[in-house]
Amino acid sequence: MLPTKLVIVNSIITTETMNALAAELRENEKFGKLKVVQSIHNSEVLRGFVTVLNHCKNLKELDISNNGIDDIGAETLANGLKHCESLERIVIANNKMTSKGVNEILKSFKQFNYVSKLTTFSESTCLQSFSKPFRKCNLEIRYEDICQKACVTDEDTLSAVTSGTCLQSLILVKPLNSITYEFIGNCTCLQSLVLVKPPMDSTILCACLQSLAVVKPMIGSYGTIVRCLKVTTELQVLVLNGGVMDADDTRCLAVGLRYCCNLQILDLGENSIGDTEAQALFDNLKSCVQLKEISLQNNNIECKVEVLSWFQQFKKLQKLNLCNNMINRGGAKALASCLIIHCPALLVLYLDDNTSYWNFWES
């Protein structure tokens, strides 16, 4: 009876063993599972293993983790995988290949167009990804260059994840070297980006972004944000929270907002924004006629200035958050007049923790 699976773990395999195995599997059409772990110790054995794969057209599951396969070995391995037309799952975790080696393996799948689910993991993060060009196979690897979602804490990981073409969501949880941020421009599919304290002199150019969130932007770092906004024509969500905006930052951001014609959600909470800063920002939001949600919670807005012009272009505005500001009775009256006239679609209004909370409804 011909075997349907073979498991080799922590063994010393020779080239002769591989040749014998290849001869054994040549006529075995039922052979579907192969696991070789901690057993491929040199390039010669790996080439013999590729010979085995050449006869495994019906192989469905392959595990070659913990074999020390580097980028050169990955290229050799990719040549053998081209013959595995029925492969549905491959595990290559804990090898020595970099993103270059992973890409070589991915190229071997493209000719069959049969990989759809890609699962990646590393020591620091567990990630799952699904890639449109592929249809049918689980690929478990140690590197993130084919992932769709990544949470990054260091420069090396950022370099790895941005070298791929499938990344759609990226979170940088702490400030990194300013030069490193340029890697983000390589992510041609990136749709969502979260930055924490980006440095002042960074350049982030990613035209496909739909959502950008910056947490605790530092004074002077708004130039980085504006350079990103200028090339991000499809941006729909912009969140800037926890900063302290001075006059220069306000003018800088105001210029960037002119480019956000497709913006639907704007959150500028906790930025110490007063009436003067709010006026400058709203003056530059006139092209953002698609805005549906505006959040200005936890600022210093009083609505003492002429606010009738603030919301006049937002006919589609459905949600406005002005919690925890400094709006008094007079400001509440001005705000009420503005919203009644200009915002017919408004459904939700938050005014908690303002001195005018009860007086607003009287207005």
Q: pLDDT tens, position by position, for the chain (363 residues)?
A: 567 888 989 888 888 888 888 888 877 778 888 899 988 988 899 998 998 888 888 888 888 888 888 889 989 998 888 888 777 778 877 788 776 777 777 777 654 443 333 333 333 222 233 233 333 334 444 333 344 555 565 565 566 555 555 667 777 766 666 656 666 776 777 888 888 877 766 667 777 889 999 888 877 778 888 888 888 888 999 999 988 787 888 888 888 999 999 999 999 999 989 988 898 898 888 889 999 999 999 999 988 767 767 888 899 999 999 999 998 888 888 888 888 888 999 999 998 888 655 455 554
Does any domain span residue 296? yes
Antiparallel, parallel or unpaired: β 117-121 and 126-130: antiparallel
Range of the domain at 89: 1-112
Point out the domain boundary residue: 60, 91, 112: 112
28: buried, middle or exposed (CB in 10 Å: 19+, 13-18, 0-12)?
A: middle
| Same domain for 218 and 342 | yes
Place of tokens 């600022």: 299
| pLDDT score recorded for residue 292 | 96
| pLDDT score recorded for residue 362 | 52
Amino acid at 189: C
Q: What is the DSSP letter of 141?
A: E
| Same domain for 79 and 216 | no
| Same domain for 202 and 326 | yes
Residue 163 CB-half CA count within 13 A: 15
| Same domain for 199 and 107 | no
Does any domain span residue 124? no
| Same domain for 62 and 203 | no
Q: How far is CA 181 from the centre of its chain?
A: 13
| pLDDT score recorded for residue 163 | 56
Does any domain span residue 167? no
| Same domain for 343 and 254 | yes
| Same domain for 361 and 268 | yes
Q: How far is CA 222 from CA 165, 228, 313, 320, 331, in A?
A: 28, 10, 25, 24, 29
Does any domain span residue 135? no
Residue 320 in contact with residue 291, Cβ under 8 Å? no
As for how many domains the chain has, the answer is 2
Does any domain span residue 230? yes
**What Rg, from alpha-carbon coordinates, does the chain have?**
28
| Same domain for 359 and 246 | yes
| Same domain for 351 and 239 | yes
| Same domain for 196 and 100 | no
The predicted model scores a pTM of 0.60
Point out the domain boundary residue: 78, 112, 146: 112
Does any domain span residue 165? no
| Same domain for 356 and 263 | yes
Point out the domain boundary residue: 75, 93, 112: 112
| pLDDT score recorded for residue 319 | 95
CATH number at 264 reads: 3.80.10.10
Length of the chain as a residue count: 363
Does any domain span residue 46? yes
| Same domain for 201 and 331 | yes
Does any domain span residue 234? yes
